[in-house]
């Protein structure tokens, strides 16, 4: 539904937006075909050929490759691992050749072939996660200042970490199949499978629009706004400032507009606090605000320090 909404409103024109939506679509395809039973149902339509596993593998590898390109466009730091730029596409090409040959000349049981291909796919994805995704997401999480986006970065880290855990089972199962020791394969897969459910939950949390989690922080942000307005009103009174307040009361009912109201109120305090030095109370407030302004605070820290003033 959201993909159709984006297409209808022509939000896929930009390369970045188009790349993000393709990633979401590919991941949804992979999750839709999750599980051996789903593969058997779909493969039955193709005379038992492992088409579903191929489609799912291409979707996952294509998703991680596009995400890697997205990170490269966001992060301006030099790329440390150049091989990641084409690892996903190269693996897709390799799997295409392998699956084509297997469909024409099956040289091993389908169950063994499936486990080995999943192990190969997950091993490649683990390389992306370990060398690129987790370090970048951790960096984004540390630098993020918006609570809802910080939550999304945390969900992304959980998603990546959970996939690494789940891949231990799939890669181990593939290794046991290669060395012809299939006795403990099923037990190994079942042991690490619950991590995939955590992957799914965290991924859905990542897809949640930013304005939805913002609703939960609305009461706290509203309190910050009223405390900031208290300082703004003091500045107006002490400086005898008659500049009209263009903000309406109703604007704060919208969580997105509330952020704008907080920003405007802070800017007013910063712009007009030099004009309040007309009294002892004004001089005291001016010195307190000026000391905060001179400190190297980020925007959230600046707001928090201003609202603490008496």
Q: Where are the domains of the chain?
A: 2-211, 217-307
pLDDT of amino acid 211: 58
pLDDT value at 14 more than 70: no
Average pLDDT over residues 90-96: 87
Band of the pLDDT at 165, cuts 50, 70, 90? confident
pLDDT value at 129 more than 80: yes
Q: How far apart are CA 171 and CA 177, in angstroms?
A: 10
Band of the pLDDT at 44, cuts 50, 70, 90? confident
**Burial call 170-208: b when 16+ CB within 10 Å, e when fewer:** bbbbbbbbeeeeeeebeebbeebeebbebbeebbebbee
pLDDT of amino acid 134: 84
Residue with tokens 């009461």: 219
Average pLDDT over residues 280-286: 82
Tell me, yes or no, if the pTM score tops 0.75.
Answer: no
206-219 tens-digit pLDDT:
776 655 556 666 77
How many percent of the chain have pLDDT more than 70?
81
CA dihedral 50, 56, 62, 64 (to 10 degrees): -130
pLDDT of amino acid 309: 81
pLDDT value at 58 more than 70: yes
Q: Which residues contact 169 (CB under 8 A, 6 or more apart)?
A: 188, 189, 190, 191, 192, 193
Question: Regarding predicted confidence, which is higher, 299 or 14?
Answer: 299
Q: How far apart are CA 58 and CA 108, in angstroms?
A: 22
pLDDT of amino acid 212: 56
Average pLDDT over residues 117-122: 85
Residue with tokens 């390109």: 69
Distances (CA, A) of 219 to 68, 127, 148, 299: 37, 42, 14, 19
Under 8 Å between Cβ of 269 and 289: yes
Under 8 Å between Cβ of 134 and 161: yes
Mean pLDDT (the chain) is 77
Residue with tokens 């951790």: 138
Q: How far apart are CA 177 and CA 239, in angstroms?
A: 79
By CB atoms closer than 10 A (0-12, 13-18, 19+), residue 12 is: middle
Band of the pLDDT at 15, cuts 50, 70, 90? low
Band of the pLDDT at 10, cuts 50, 70, 90? low
224-253 tens-digit pLDDT:
888 888 888 888 888 777 766 555 556 666
pLDDT of amino acid 243: 65
Please enumerate, as own/partner, the contacts of 217-226 that have beta carbons within 8 Å and a separation of 24 or more: 217/147, 217/148, 218/255, 218/258, 221/255, 221/258, 221/259, 221/262, 222/252, 222/258, 224/262, 224/303, 224/304, 224/307, 225/252, 225/258, 225/261, 225/262, 225/265
Sign of torsion, CA 79 84 90 96?
Answer: negative
Please enumerate, as own/partner, the contacts of 192-196 that have beta carbons within 8 Å and a separation of 24 or more: 192/165, 192/166, 192/167, 192/168, 193/166, 193/169, 195/162, 195/163, 195/165, 195/166, 196/34, 196/162, 196/163, 196/166
């Amino acid at each position: 539904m959201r993909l159709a909404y984006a297409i209808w409103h022509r939000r896929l024109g930009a390369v970045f937006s188009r790349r993000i939506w393709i990633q979401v679509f590919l991941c949804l395809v992979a999750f839709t075909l999750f599980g051996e039973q789903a593969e058997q149902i779909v493969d039955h339509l193709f005379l038992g050929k492992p088409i579903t596993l191929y489609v799912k593998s291409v979707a996952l590898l294509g998703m991680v490759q596009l995400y890697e390109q997205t990170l490269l466009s966001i992060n301006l730091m030099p790329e440390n691992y150049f091989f990641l730029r084409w690892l996903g596409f190269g693996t897709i090409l390799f799997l295409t050749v392998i699956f084509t040959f297997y469909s024409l000349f099956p040289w091993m049981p389908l169950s063994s072939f499936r486990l080995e291909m999943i192990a190969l796919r997950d091993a490649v994805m683990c390389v992306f996660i370990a060398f690129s995704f987790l370090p970048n997401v951790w960096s984004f999480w540390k630098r993020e200042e918006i609570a809802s986006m910080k939550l999304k970065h945390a969900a992304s880290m959980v998603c990546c970490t959970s996939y690494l855990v789940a891949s231990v089972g799939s890669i181990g199962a593939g290794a046991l199949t290669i060395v012809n020791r299939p006795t403990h394969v099923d037990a190994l897969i079942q042991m690490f499978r619950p991590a995939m459910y955590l992957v799914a939950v965290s991924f859905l949390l990542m897809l949640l629009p930013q304005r939805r989690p913002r609703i939960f922080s609305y009461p706290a942000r509203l309190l910050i706004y009223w405390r900031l307005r208290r300082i703004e009103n003091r500045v107006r009174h002490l400086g005898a400032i008659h500049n009209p307040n263009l903000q309406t009361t109703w604007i704060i009912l919208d969580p997105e507009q509330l952020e704008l109201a907080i920003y405007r109120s802070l800017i007013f305090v910063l712009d007009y606090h030099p004009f309040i030095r007309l009294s002892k109370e004004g001089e005291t407030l001016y010195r307190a605000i000026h000391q905060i302004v001179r400190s190297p605070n980020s925007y959230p820290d600046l707001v928090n320090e201003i609202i603490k003033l008496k």
